[in-house]
Amino acid sequence: MGVTIFTMTHKKFPAPQDPVYMPLQVGRACAEDCGYAGDNTGDNISDKNCYYGELTGVYWVWKNVRTTDYVGVCHYRRYFCTEEGRIFNEKDYLSVLKDYDIITSKRLKLNFSYYDGYAGDYNISDLDATGEVIRWMYPGYYDTFERLVHGNGTYFGNMMVTDKALYDEYAQWLFSIFDEVEKKIDPSGYDDYHKRVFGFISEFLLYVWVKAKGLKVYECKVGMTTEKYETRQMKEKLAAYFAGGDIAGAKSYFLSVLEKRPDVLMEASDITGELKLSMQVIAVCGLERDAYGTSVLDRIRDFDALMRYFTRLNEAVCNRNMGQVTEDDIRFLKEQKVSDVAIEASSCLFKTPSDR
């Protein structure tokens, strides 16, 4: 029983030596040949890569691969891995898939509904059009779509591994929807980032499809390769500033990096969300010191502890904003002596994007 994991890429990269991983250049029809297999052969939509991102590779695998029992999709710098960080091999995949229907990324828990988050970052009419198409093409999926789009969960990266038959079923469902959505929206005027509308929406649709079908899902840790070591370096430098209680230094450093790398806070770079949390640490502690002369950084300086503190704070504030505050939330806020400034700042930083 063979497994082939297609590593989607648009550039040369140090590929894993494990033969289970096969590099696939996406968007080859519109780019220089990187020396890998490309998504521009056979039945393909390679020329739509600017709108579909890695989905042009997903489509190519659906239409052209017939020689493997299990197929999967990962990225040139993102891989399924063990909790210890070791990239999965064929034995790992086969072991999991004996008991599960599909392997996906771990579900992201947002601080707002998926719908509101999409409205804050993208053109919400594109998501609305997708919902309309699902309602008339696949009415049995629409209730799940509506429930989840107003919930706070999603998968990310279009990463998955499953048997080829189930993969093909998913691809047929997904691309039949997008064939119709293409007739209703026009992203040609978007910037290069926002043009990838189908790639963005499909991350959520995988979540919808899995839930609607009631599949047994193994939500797997996703690890980053050393190509994004600069992100880890940034966290290490911020940790040093936090350890020294130097908010001004952390802020200056953060802004200097943002100037050079405006994408640093995007999900692809900040997969754990710790850079966004670090930004919150800087903002909240600065406001607390202005208001009280002290801040949470005067009693918590360890980076991991700060991440846990602000993650829990955001959960409590999110629950409060949604009218679902718990006894544990109240206990946390009291025991940690969370300031009104911290609560208000958290509420502003993580409020529903469409309300900003």
Report the CATH fold assignment for 3-224: Spore Coat Polysaccharide Biosynthesis Protein SpsA; Chain A (3.90.550)
**CB 24 within 8 Å of CB 39:** yes
**CB 245 within 8 Å of CB 298:** yes
As annotated, the residues of the chain forming the CATH 3.90.550 domain(s) are 3-224
pLDDT tens digit sequence for 234-292: 899 999 999 999 999 999 999 988 776 656 666 556 667 788 899 999 999 999 999 99
- In this prediction, residue 356 has a pLDDT band, given cuts at 50, 70 and 90, of very low
Global pTM value: 0.72
Q: Is 305 helix (H, G, I), strand (E, B) or coil?
A: helix
**CB 149 within 8 Å of CB 131:** yes
Strand stretches in the chain, DSSP E: 3-9, 21-25, 37-38, 70-75, 78-81, 102-105, 108-109, 153-154, 160-163, 217-224
**CB 269 within 8 Å of CB 263:** yes
- In this prediction, residue 346 has a pLDDT band, given cuts at 50, 70 and 90, of confident
pLDDT tens digit sequence for 287-334: 999 999 999 999 999 999 999 999 999 888 888 877 888 899 999 999
340-349 vs 274-292: helix crossing angle, rounded to 10: 140
